[in-house]
A = this chain, B = another copy of it.
Amino acid sequence: MPRKPEQKRKQATLADVAQMAGVSIATASKALNGRSQVKAETRARVFEAAEKLKFSPNAMAQNLLTGRSGTIGLVTHDLDGRFSIPTLMGAEDAAGHGRTSVLLCDARGDALRERYHLQALLGRRVDGLIVVGARPDPRSSLGTLPVPVVYAYAPSTDPRDTSIVTDNVAGGRLVAEHMLACGRRRIALVTGDPEYGAAHDRVAGAREVLDRDGAEVVPSEPLYGTWSEEWGRTAAGLVINQHPDVDGIICGSDQIARGVLDTLRESGRKVPDDVAVTGHDNWEILAVNARPQLTSVDMRLEELGRQAAELLFAAIDGRTTKGGHVVTPRLVPRASTGPRVSG
């Protein structure tokens, strides 16, 4: 049984405005929309009436005409996570600057829920979709949809789709170059879950730079584990045991770096004097509260979200943007790295 909504009186419609202003609906419409075929005095009357009735045009009726809803769908998989949110913010921001609104859905990594939300969004005639992944590994394509789709953070496996991701290889290069600039020559690589492509990419970028410059990677193989402080503590113990002369540790995440810092401090090593440490993700609450504060790589997720929205708008306007796009991360140097101080 459908319940009656509480609205005492319906929202004012254009017809009401027209009647109050003593003009036709058509004229009222033209007046409010700034069309030129209305006498100034008439226009004023219409505006006055609209004001008095608190008229606001029914977007649903407008969109029925234009065929566009002025709405985009944003499907996230990680609403509680710290990666989706900045991306979401960037997209919302970019959309708000135009006149489009964002319909938000959280599918929580569940493909079924994703399909369900997709149906709802398509029924609402969104003009386009942004799909934000929970982790940067590629995900299966949604296939051909009646509206353009941009995959953000997690790219689509199908190269014909439009995707935008952070450049983890470049992130790896950034910290490695920074380490070298700080005069470090024996560097350990400690990273997280080897199931994550990001772990490998960041290592690959760092390795490329270190090898090119002839710096020593100790141990020669990077240490994979989990994305946790715990693993950071453990791994740091392994490294300083086997290679007491290590002078830099590049970590795959800020969490790992926090653990590494703990072990180094407890083993009496000074950071950055003895060993420089870098994190990844620039998770401020961790990086800034670390002792010393942690040099990290910022993936510029908000920028990523913004660009995702821009790509989507371009696609909606018919300017095609297929393929992979990349946001270059930036280094945020803090106290955990610095020129080597002998002693």
| Interface residues in chain A, defined as those with a beta carbon under 8 Å from any beta carbon in chain B | 3-7, 10-11, 54, 56-61, 63-64, 67-69, 71, 74, 79-80, 85-86, 88-89, 92-93, 96, 99, 101-106, 117, 119-125, 127, 146-148, 229, 258, 285-286, 289, 315-320
Contacts and interface: CB of A to CB of B under 8 A. Distances in A.
Given A56-B123, A60-B69, A101-B104, 14 more contacts: A3-B318, A5-B317, A11-B146, A56-B122, A59-B125, A79-B88, A79-B89, A85-B85, A89-B106, A92-B105, A96-B106, A101-B103, A102-B104, A285-B286
Given A88-B79, A320-B6, A124 B60 contact: yes
Nearest to A58: B125
B80 A89 contact: yes
A101 B121 contact: yes
18 contacts: A5-B68, A6-B317, A56-B119, A60-B63, A60-B69, A60-B124, A61-B64, A79-B89, A88-B104, A92-B105, A92-B106, A96-B105, A101-B104, A101-B124, A102-B104, A102-B105, A104-B104, A258-B289
A57 B92 contact: no
A111 to B, nearest CB: 16
B104 A318 contact: no
A85 B96 contact: no
A97 to B, nearest CB: 11
A120 B101 contact: yes
B106 A57 contact: no
A44 B156 CA distance: 36
Contact of A318 (B6, B61, B89, B320): B6
A71 to B, nearest CB: 8
